[in-house]
Amino acid sequence: MELGKGGFPKEATDPKTLTYNTYLKVPELLSLQKRLSEPPAHDEFLFIIIHQVYELWFRLITFELEVITKNVADKRLPDAFRGLDRVLEIFGVLVQQIDVLETMSPTDFNKFRGKLNPASGFQSLQFRTFEILSGADIADYDKFSGLEPEWKDELATLGAKMSLRGAFLTLLKKEGLSTADLKRVYEDEKLQLLRTLCEYLIRYDEQIQLWRFRHVQMVERMIGMKMGTGGSLGATYLRSTLKKRFFPELWDARTEMETSY
């Protein structure tokens, strides 16, 4: 087969034959929603599509994150802010999408849930990638069951890359500051740009925590206190993740800030 631009088959890139459908690979995309239930449960279609949509957004987020991280480390902050604006807007969509999933009732979910075992969001490599590129400690991931062995290698490779948290700490260091100086960043007018970055990063933590909270709330609404298909304690496990923050020092700095009376 003759290949054209970007390794696409020639007819797919030739302006004479290029269409919306060939460019976006719509037929391929629409062939990917295969229900496991028999006869097919109505809501399994929603369940598959919503997860696939999440995975596509995770793909874009991790793609943007690598560029944002580099821009932060190199102090190109206006460029970093543009990327963060995009990622924060996507987070908003991720949180809102849970409302769509909640149009499914627990009884409708139970019609196909048994077929999913032992598949689980636990195994979303892209979600783990996002957490690690944000700043989660790779050591926390050893305990995860259900990860394919080759994914463990991939996560270890990711762990060696600079994370957004790592870039933030690097930038502070370049400016002669450390996380112990964050209160000063908020008080010193000369450090305004850095303060704007801190506000973006605290929103970043806030948005992902919001997603975690909406997810566990939805999980409890669907399955109560049942165990997860991935083998965890379900809502009990998910509630334990609500405290996770990538920039805890930014939150701690609030406690240290002085109140005027």
Q: Are 54 and 123 in contact (CB under 8 A)?
A: no
Q: Does 51 bind ligand HEM (CB under 6 A)?
A: yes
Count of residues near ligand HEM by CB under 6 A: 23
Separation CA 243–CA 88 (nearest Å):
19
Q: Could you tell me which stretch among 133-141, 154-162, 187-195, 235-243 binds ligand HEM (CB under 6 A)?
A: 235-243
Q: Per-residue x/- mask for ligand HEM, residues 206 to 225, rule CB under 6 A?
A: ---------x---x--xx--
User: Judged by CB under 6 A, does residue 228 bind ligand HEM?
Assistant: yes
Nearest to ligand HEM of 159, 231 (CB atom) = 231
Residue sitting closest to ligand HEM (CB): 228
Out of 8, 45, 127, 213, the residue judged to bind ligand HEM by CB under 6 A: 127
Give the SS3 label for residue 107: helix
Name which position in 69, 83, 84, 109 contacts ligand HEM (CB under 6 A): 109
Among 86, 210, 241, 252, binds ligand HEM (CB under 6 A): 241
- Is residue 155 within the footprint of ligand HEM (CB under 6 A)? no
Is 98 in contact with 218 (CB distance < 8 Å)? Answer: yes
Question: Of these, 13, 22, 110, 124, which contacts ligand HEM (CB under 6 A)?
Answer: 124
Quote the CA–CA distance of 4 and 25 in Å, as a whole number.
15
Residue with the two structure tokens 């991931």: 141
Q: Which of 59, 247, 65 is nearest to 162 (CA)?
A: 65
For the bound state, the minimum distance from the C-beta of residue 166 to ligand HEM, rounded and expressed in Å, comes to 21
Cα separation, 46 vs 42, whole angstroms: 8
Report the greatest alpha carbon distance in the chain.
76
DSSP state of 189: G
| Candidate residues 45, 151, 213, 237; the one interacting with ligand HEM per rule CB under 6 A | 237
Which residue from 180, 200, 199 is spatially nearest to 83, judged by alpha carbons? 200
Shorter beta-carbon distance to ligand HEM: residue 113 or 165: 113
Neighbour-count burial for 77-109, b at 16+ CB within 10 Å, e otherwise: beebbebbeebeebbeebbebbeebeebeeebb
Q: Which of 44, 207, 229, 246 binds ligand HEM (CB under 6 A)?
A: 229
Which residue of 62, 71, 134, 232 would you call a contact of ligand HEM, by CB under 6 A? 232
Phi/psi of residue 2, each to 5°?
Answer: -80, 130
CB nearer to ligand HEM: pick between 121 and 159: 121
- What residue has token string 């102090």? 75
Return all residues near 254 (Cβ < 8 A) that are at least 6 apart.
none
Interface pick for ligand HEM out of 230, 246, 247, 250 (rule CB under 6 A): 230
Binding site residues, ligand HEM, CB under 6 A: 50-51, 54, 101, 109, 120-122, 124, 127, 215, 219, 222-223, 228-232, 234, 237-238, 241
